[in-house]
A and B are shown apart, each in its own frame.
Chain A
Amino acid sequence: MEKTISIHLKIWRQRGPKAKGAFETYHLDHVSTDSSFLEMLDMLNEQLVGSGKEPVVFDHDCREGICGMCSLYINGHPHGPDEDITTCQLHMRKFKDGETITIEPWRSHGFPIIRDLMVDRTAFDKIIQAGGYVSINTGGIPDANAIPISKVKADEAMDAASCIGCGACVAACKNGSAMLFVSAKVSQLALLPQGQVEAARRAKSMVAKMDELGFGNCTNTGACEAECPKNISITNIARLNREFLAAKFQD
């Protein structure tokens, strides 16, 4: 038997980047506990459109936790109260009947609001671009085991590579720092032999771009790691610091 709940929603509405925003409250009945959080927002938008109002704008794409497009700061946590998932993987069974759910956009100088709950995260793309290309000597057809990589390093590189660039780390950080994101992107290449040729240049230019775009300075609070839907470790930040400082002292 399907269980349904009634909820109150407190949602940030803002017409545009320069407009002044405010919270608006909505009420939603018959929300199935089996539905996902974004399906619940779809329900709300259908209700709003049906009554001739503007729907709530929010980012979403794959809805299976791998694209990094969904965001939302739900009840004081990026990607909601559940751990290690993105907003699209959050289900309404995590909420109680009659509960008030507060939904805010990512708030950070580096991520200006486009409209309502949608923020501009192109800053992350710019940081990635600043990292530049990776040289790979293809030569002939390489043997699969010709480049030995230890299991430990391969695992750490893969863990770092699981970052989907959603920006929850920046949203969670009291300093608005993007260090967890940048450190994951630097680490996934720094750990592997394929990434060595441009390693120093990459660390320097990605950090420079991050600073230029107005992200804060890391103070190692660890909020990013705790809220990261992909469990990226802050030890990547220590690796980025090593890579960056080594590159600077080489100059």
Chain B
Amino acid sequence: MGLFIFNSSIGRKLIMSISGLALILFLLFHSIMNIFVIFSPEIYDAICKFLGANWYALIATMGLAFLFVVHIVYAFWLSLQNYIARGKERYAVKKNAPGVDWASQNMLVLGAIVLGFIALHLFNFWYKMQLQELLAKLNGEVLHVEGAALVQELFASPVYCLLYIVWLVALWFHLTHGFWSALHSLGGSNTVWLPRIKVISNIFSTVIVLLFMAIPVYYLIINLLG
């Protein structure tokens, strides 16, 4: 039975859906924790400490990295198969059918943009926080990096604020299609629920992205106002 997640199209979509939904759940937690940096840097730093170089945080980080890798590997695998299935000759004239979302046709590109910024984001934060704490721990020292200060420092640069906003717009497009599409691929859709899961998907993606975006926008505004 187990092989069908590799050798059947619906099985591959199952893996894509489950990993995608798990990553959306991660984004939800991440966005809620982030928002504290505006209201209470103390609470934010406490969360950073809680999720520092502890065994449970490290296991969760590894699990998360695994999910990302699975999602990305399957994305390239599926896209390659789909590219081949389209055939060698392409249409000379191709018009989009009404009702086809732009995001749904550009998930790989959007995903690649998101991935590129994740690399930058890991360098900006994870490298300076959890990794440093872990390295310190291996040397027998105890280090707690103050996350709120790092956030303030990075977003003092308007360029970084704008870069993060662009990233989040790409993420929004990726999520608006990805969320309902995952539910649909898992079979959780019918004539009644298809329009509903699309609406839920749009609201959910918008809330998550707005929570994330509040931070660079907040720092952009307070820095511009001096």
Q: Are A226 and B92 in contact (CB under 8 A)?
A: no
Q: Does A177 contact B (CB under 8 A)?
A: yes
Partner of B189, one of A176, A218, A235: A235
Within the complex, the shortest CB–CB distance from A181 to chain B, in Å, comes to 13
- Give the secondary structure class of A's interface: mixed
Residues in chain A near residue B89, CB distance under 8 A: 21, 107
A195 on the interface (CB 8 Å rule)?
A: no
- Does A5 have its Cβ within 8 Å of any Cβ on chain B? no
Q: How far is the CA of A151 from the CA of B101 in the complex (A)?
A: 32
Q: Within B69-100, which residues are at the interface with A (CB < 8 Å)?
A: 78, 81-82, 84-100
Query: In the complex, which residue of chain A has the Cβ closest to the Cβ of B96?
Result: A223
B86 x A220 contact (CB < 8 A): no
A75 touches B86 (CB 8 A): no
> Which of B11, B180, B188 has the most C-beta atoms of chain A within 10 angstroms of its own C-beta?
B11
Whether, in the assembled complex, B163 has its beta carbon less than 8 Å from a beta carbon of chain A, the answer is no
Chain B residues with CB below 8 A from A227, complex form:
97
A175-B85, A241-B13, A245-B186 known; A235 vs B191 contact (CB < 8 Å) = yes
B1-9, B117-125, B138-146, B166-174 - interface stretch: B1-9
Asked if B23 lies at the interface with its beta carbon under 8 angstroms from chain A, I say: no
- A218 to B101 Cα, complex, angstroms: 15
CA distance in complex: A245, B5 (Å): 10
Question: A246: which B residues are within 8 A, CB to CB?
Answer: 187
A156 at interface by CB-CB < 8 Å: yes
Whether the Cβ atoms of B8 and A216 lie closer than 8 Å is: no
Complex formed: what's the CA distance from A217 to B108 in Å? 14
CB contact between A238 and one of B12, B14, B184 (< 8 Å): that residue:
B184
Which segment of A125-133, A142-150, A206-214 sits at the interface?
Answer: A206-214
Inside 8 A of A75's CB, which chain B residues have their CB? Answer: 93, 95
Residues of B within 8 Å of A104, CB to CB, are 91-93
Q: Residue-by-residue, is A198-240 near B (CB-CB < 8 Å gives 1, otherwise 0)?
A: 0000000001101100111111111101110000011101111
B-side contacts of A23, CB under 8 Å: 92
| Least Cβ–Cβ distance between A102 and chain B, in angstroms | 5
Q: Would B97 and A77 count as touching, CB distance under 8 A? A: yes
Bound together, the chains give a CA A219 to CA B125 distance in angstroms of 33
A207 in contact with B82 (CB, 8 Å):
no
**Residues of B in contact, count (CB < 8 Å):** 46
Q: A223 to B94, alpha carbons, bound, how many Å?
A: 12
Chain A, interface size category, equals 35 or more
Do the beta carbons of B86 and A175 come within 8 Å of each other? yes
State whether B86 touches A208 (Cβ < 8 A): no
Closest A residue to B177 by beta carbon equals A220
Min distance, Cβ A20 to any Cβ of chain B, angstroms: 10
* Contact between A238 and B188, CB atoms less than 8 A apart: yes
The residues of A that contact B97 with a CB separation of less than 8 Å are 77, 172, 222-223, 226-227
Rounded to whole Å, the gap between the CB of B197 and the closest CB of chain A is: 10
B185 an interface residue at 8 Å Cβ cutoff? yes
Contacts of A237 in B (CB 8 A): 184
Say yes or no: is A76 at the interface (Cβ < 8 Å to chain B). yes
Query: Known: A21-B89, A107-B91. Is A216-B82 also a contact (CB below 8 A)?
Result: yes
Q: If the complex has contacts A75-B93, A76-B91, A219-B181, are A109 and B104 also in contact, measured as CB distance less than 8 A?
A: no
Interface check A174, CB cutoff 8 A: yes
- B51 to chain A minimum Cβ distance, whole angstroms, is 34
Which of B1, B94, B98 has the most A CB atoms < 10 Å from its CB? B94
- Asked if B86 and A174 sit within 8 Å, CB to CB, the answer is yes
Q: Does A37 contact B (CB under 8 A)?
A: no
How far apart are the CA atoms of A81 and B177 in the complex, in Å? 26
7 contacts between A and B (CB under 8 A): A77-B97, A104-B91, A220-B180, A221-B100, A233-B194, A235-B189, A242-B187
> Told that A109-B86, A109-B87 touch, could you supply 12 new A-B pairs with CB distance under 8 A?
A107-B86, A175-B86, A177-B9, A214-B84, A216-B82, A220-B185, A221-B104, A226-B100, A239-B190, A240-B10, A248-B4, A249-B1
